[in-house]
Amino acid sequence: MRRITLIMREEMAECKLPIEAEAICPETMSKTIDLSFFVGNEKKKITEVFDIRVDGEAAGPATTEIILVGDCRRVKRVGEYMTAGKIIIEGDIGMHCGDFMTGGEIEIMGHAGDWLGREMLGGKIVCHGNAANYCGSGYRGGRKGMRGGEILVEGSVGDYCAECLFGGTVRVKGNAGIHAGANMKGGHLIIEGDAVMPCGDMFAGEADIFGTVTDFLATFREKGVVSVEGHTLTEFEGDLAHRNAKGILRVGKYIRI
């Protein structure tokens, strides 16, 4: 088991530039820690950005654990294309954490930036704080968003959570902003709190919203009352704006638009 602890250097706290840290990933770090990445438009050595401590030896990515300490809100693309192993982020993390990941686990103690786990294919992300916009979504223009794996956000999420969801599960314990599950084509979205105008242009998949939905779209057909995890929800089918839509949306209270 190899544990790599990356501690953000103090002088970097002054720096306002984004850090393109796709190299922070068990694949690369199980082989070498002599890495560099872009800070703004300048390539810097990892040691200029982080103080590094390495404990133990790893047999491969699966036995590699990376711990990020310090203010990492500007650190982007951590765990991109990750396949195995574990990343623990002790504070907040920047945009695109866990993009395209296929396996392994990311645990975020603080809040996550935009695009958390976008287009992920497998593995697990747990965020104990809030996640910003586009959590578990697709990217601009793409048809397939997250296709597998699991995201659990214990706080709330911003707008467009699970947009274009294609597979896997996104669970949010708090509230969601506008357009959660827009364009969903599969998978399962669970929001334990409230949501605004969810699941527009949904083709398929399931979405459960335990709290109150405001601006509920008129293009869903009511199917009846069901019980999910002890909550009494009204089940709808839609989005009927779409031909042959097979999406299932279950909501607690709803206020139509």
Partner 1 sequence: MTDYIIKNACVYDPANNVAGEIRDIFVVDGKIAEEPSANAEVIDAGGCLTLPGGIDSHTHICGTKVNFGRYMSPEDMRAGRAPRKNGMRAVSGYSIPTTYGNSYRYAHMGYTTLTEGAMAPLEARHTHEEFRHTPLQDGLVLTLFDGDWEVMRAIANGDVKRAAGLIAWRLNAVKGYGVKLTNPLGAEMWSWGKNVECIRKPIPNFNLSPVEFITGMIEANEMLGLPHSIHLHCNNLGKPGNYTCTIGTMGLVPDLNEKRQTAYLTHVQFHSYGGSGWSDFCSKSEPVANMVNRRPQVTIDMGQVMFGRTTTMTADGPMEFNLYRLHQDKWSNHDVEMETASGVIPVMYRRKNLVNSIMWAIGLELALLVENPWQCLLTTDNPNGAPFVKYPEIIGLLMSKEYRDKEFATVHKSTGKRTCLAALDRELGFEEIAVMTRAGQARALGLDQFGKGHLGVGADADIAVYPIRPDRIDPSKQYAEIIRGFAQTKFTMKGGVLVSRDDVILADDLNRTFWCFPKVPAAYEMSRDPELISVFEKYYTIRMENYPVDEKYYIKRSMKIETETAL
Q: How far is the CB of 138 from partner 1 (least distance, A)?
A: 9
Which stretches of the chain are DSSP H helices?
26-31, 46-49
Give the one residue of 62, 73, 122, 139 binding partner 1; rule: CB under 8 A: 139
Q: Would you say 20 or 192 has its CB closer to partner 1?
A: 20
- From 36-44, 74-82, 137-145, 212-220, give the range in contact with partner 1 by CB under 8 A: 137-145
Give the full edge-to-edge strand order of the sheet including 19-20: 42-45, 36-39, 19-20, 75-76
Burial 9-47 (b: 16+ CB within 10 A, else e): eeebeeeeebbbbbbbbbbbbbeebebebbbeeeebebe
Residue 41 engages partner 1 in binding (rule: CB under 8 A): no
Q: Examine residue 142 and tell whether it contacts partner 1 (CB under 8 A).
A: yes
Binding track, positions 195-234, relative to partner 1; x by CB under 8 A: ----------------------------------------
Stretch of 11-19, 88-96, 135-143, 178-186 lying at the interface with partner 1 (CB under 8 A): 135-143
Question: 29 with 12: CB under 8 angstroms?
Answer: no
The candidate with the shortest Cα–Cα distance to 171, out of 122, 136, 203, is 136
Which CB, 16 or 143, lies closer to partner 1?
143
User: Which stretches of the chain bind partner 1, using CB under 8 A?
Assistant: 139-143, 242-243
